[in-house]
Chains A and B, each alone.
Chain A
């Protein structure tokens, strides 16, 4: 699964970093940091969950 984030949309709520710390972190300004651009199969559900929890829908997971 490919993971894209739109940092311009990010408001720093940090829901992604809480949900999948393996993939998402926050920088010192609270903006999302993508730790990996692809998610292994065992994290697919969690990445989808993080995308759904993002209050500004800044996360786009793409199955491929």
Chain B
């Protein structure tokens, strides 16, 4: 093997750019050997073309039995290597994955999202009013970026928002790279316990969980699992995207000025922010079920592969004209911030809608919004499987 066996790079040059090594690998060796934290050798994919090809190829499995985290993550140990937890469709292949996803897709269509927009606007307006009353400086994550997606996903699922403290704390534990296996296991158990109760007779009858219970296709444990998955994924990654997008716009005043001058740019701006920021920063794991010739290499059955979404999203072969630059007028369709293939993010249209509504509303209400600390003092969540900021102190 020509390439040195290096681990997945983790050091970022600044809050917005992925590790520089990823770009170098993409140029010279878009599929290359990589050292996994447990010492074994696998593969890293960094080009848009290969990432897309792999994620839409049924020969590569997403089953948790084969998954190994690309960076050290003791909390993942109890889940990887074992069969998927009930309802945990991200760790399944077709047809198990299909059976569960089919029950959920109808709740996240573009039309359903449009129906939710008036309610979303009220939620946003209320939160911004609370922020205004409180007065600067405030933590934008606590008062805005976290509650917006959190309230919305709770309402969609039919989970009382008062329960959020319980699931937020456990979900943070689950996504942290630093917690032990026991801590992560305990957090997962608590989340299942919470969702088992909420998807039972005591829960909100209008939500997705109740609908699934009534339908009867999924069993009780699967419904609890779907609830845990959507609840954790639904608020963690969106809140990161919202806070990090705000941070990026505040750090690129020319782009923010463009958006303020022409609010019609918001749809495109959101796509570009998703591409540029790629909060799922350690990519997605796949494993060939059989020996496969791919990208000029023989990938052996059972080997670990990491598909780097941030690297694919900065590939100049797909995104011409300096993909490392944030340009809200860029044509950024085809970005992979939501992944690709059968596991592409179920909630992507909800995320889009939340960002399209929340960002303009925030800057309309607080036209003088600014960071309340120097930008290098914003605490970055590099230590989480979803990248973002732990806090975003702002003033106006």
Instruction: Report A's interface with B, CB cutoff 8 A.
Output: 11-14, 17-19, 25-31, 49, 52-53, 55-57
Residue of B nearest to A19 (CB): B333
Contact A30 B56 (CB under 8 A): no
- Interface pairs (19), CB distance under 8 Å: A11-B105, A12-B101, A12-B106, A12-B109, A13-B346, A14-B108, A14-B109, A14-B110, A17-B110, A25-B111, A26-B106, A28-B106, A30-B102, A30-B104, A30-B106, A30-B109, A31-B105, A55-B341, A56-B341
Scoring B residues 98 to 126 as 1 if CB is less than 8 Å from chain A, else 0, what string do you get?
A: 10011011111111000000000000000
Counting chain A CB atoms within 10 Å of each CB, the highest count among B55, B339, B342 belongs to B342
Q: Which residues of the other chain, B, contact A29 by a CB distance below 8 angstroms?
A: 102, 105-106
CA distance A14 to B55 in the complex (A): 18
Contact A55 B105 (CB under 8 A): no
CA distance A56 to B135 in the complex (A): 47
Given contacts A13-B345, A18-B110, A29-B105, 7 further A-B contacts (CB under 8 A): A11-B98, A14-B109, A14-B110, A28-B106, A49-B333, A52-B334, A53-B333
CA distance A49 to B348 in the complex (A): 18
B contact patch SS: helix
B340 CB–A CB distance under 8 Å? yes
Q: Which residues of the other chain, B, contact A27 by a CB distance below 8 angstroms?
A: 106
Q: Which residues of the other chain, B, contact A17 by a CB distance below 8 angstroms?
A: 109-110
Contact A13 B334 (CB under 8 A): no
CA distance A60 to B202 in the complex (A): 46
Scoring B residues 264 to 285 as 1 if CB is less than 8 Å from chain A, else 0, what string do you get?
A: 0000000000000000000000
Instruction: Report B's interface with A, CB cutoff 8 A.
Output: 55-56, 98, 101-102, 104-111, 333-334, 339-342, 344-346, 348-349
With both chains docked as a complex, state the minimum distance between the C-beta of A54 and any C-beta of chain B, in angstroms: 9
Contact B342 A30 (CB under 8 A): no
Contact of A56 among B56, B334, B348 (CB under 8 A): B56
Asked if A55 meets B334 with Cβ closer than 8 Å, knowing A18-B349, A29-B106, A30-B108, the reply is no
Q: Which residues of the other chain, B, contact A55 by a CB distance below 8 angstroms?
A: 55-56, 339-342, 344
Contact B101 A26 (CB under 8 A): no
Residue of B nearest to A49 (CB): B333
With both chains docked as a complex, state the minimum distance between the C-beta of B114 and any C-beta of chain A, in angstroms: 11
Contact B108 A12 (CB under 8 A): yes
Residue of B nearest to A21 (CB): B110
Residue of A nearest to B58 (CB): A56
With both chains docked as a complex, state the minimum distance between the C-beta of B168 and any C-beta of chain A, in angstroms: 27
Contact A11 B342 (CB under 8 A): yes
4 nearest interchain CB pairs? A12-B105, A30-B105, A55-B344, A29-B106
Asked if A56 meets B110 with Cβ closer than 8 Å, knowing A13-B348, A18-B349, the reply is no
Q: Which residues of the other chain, B, contact A25 by a CB distance below 8 angstroms?
A: 111
